[in-house]
Amino acid sequence: MENIYIKLSEYIPSERIFLNEPMKKHTSFRIGGPADIMVLPDSEEEIIHALKVCKDTSVPFFIMGNGSNLLVRDKGIRGVVIKISENYSKIKIDGTSINAQSGVLLSTLSRAAVRNSLKGLEFASGIPGTLGGAVTMNAGAYGGEMKDVVVSVRCIDSNGNIHILQKEDMNFGYRTSRIQAADLIVSEVNMELEYGDQQESLDLMADLARRRREKQPLAYPSAGSTFKRPVGYYAGKLIQDCGLKGLRIGDAQISELHAGFIINLGNATAQNVIDLIKKVQDIIYDKYGVEMIPEVRIVGEE
């Protein structure tokens, strides 16, 4: 890893390269063992340089945003973690068009849109993730999805090549896109919104925030909704109907406020969460014959 560190620091300042970095500092779950190396790039060129170093040295790499939909196993992540977040988050607005780097938070992006009297991103104001992650999984809430506003996506493949995908090339689906299927990395996103009434947008965002506070366990670390919505069902209702609210393994607990969330009561391990996910899957499959597929991404050394 020392050799990798030296090669990375030839182009990326050493203050943005970390050795044995605890992943619990970088996930909303506040769980996870150390990454061998973490890099915080602030340009597309630095992202490509990190990818090239990993390819040339045959070292595995993992791309992440701000870790809001991520569970890192307790042994951590081997290789290089490239965190594309606040260091790569510029926004440009021209009329109703927005170009933004993939590390910008959705909350920041939606506020910038409203400041420019643009509507269409209000649904994203409370989603705790980056633009890149949101486009990759076609994130959505309260009737809106990223596919509704995306025009094109500039992305990078694992060899450092640039690709421009138009909306029709993105294969957006429920919590999926071509970015996932082709293992691409979102660099920049072009979006098209509409002019709207600024106060109406602010009121809508305030209403959505209130609804989240009332229905979601925001006081505890979590990775958001734990499971994808099964066809014809709601994950939280299935879990609740099985009487599983409050079920706990170690400090991992099914939220008593919203059964669709697993929360960290303070010192949960990744294994606690994984075991709780498995227990929920088994109980619901036995009772309803429904397969519960995790929405949270589970990564790291087993």
CA distance 205 to 192: 19
Q: Where are the beta strands (DSSP E) in the chain?
A: 17-22, 34-39, 61-64, 70-72, 77-83, 91-94, 97-101, 118-119, 140-141, 144-145, 150-156, 162-166, 185-192, 194-195, 222-225, 248-249, 252-254, 261-264, 297-299
For the chain, first and last CA: distance in Å? 20
Q: What is the DSSP letter of 150?
A: E
Residue where the block lists tokens 């960290």? 264
Query: What whole-number distance in Å separates Cα of residue 189 and Cα of residue 273?
Result: 33
From 154, 175, 201, 255, active-site residue = 175
Q: Examine the residue annotation and report whether 302 is marked as an active-site residue of this protein.
A: no
Contacts of 132 by beta carbon, 8 Å cutoff, 6+ apart: 65, 84, 102, 103, 185, 186, 187, 189
- Bridge partners for 38 per DSSP: 18, 81
Task: Kindly name the residue from 9, 86, 212, 295 that is annotated as catalytic.
Answer: 295
Among 110, 201, 225, 255, the active-site one is 225
225 is a catalytic site residue: yes
Neighbours of 288 (CB within 10 A): 14
User: Which structure tokens are listed for 215?
Assistant: 């229905």
Annotation says 222 is catalytic: no
Residues annotated catalytic, as ranges: 175, 225, 295
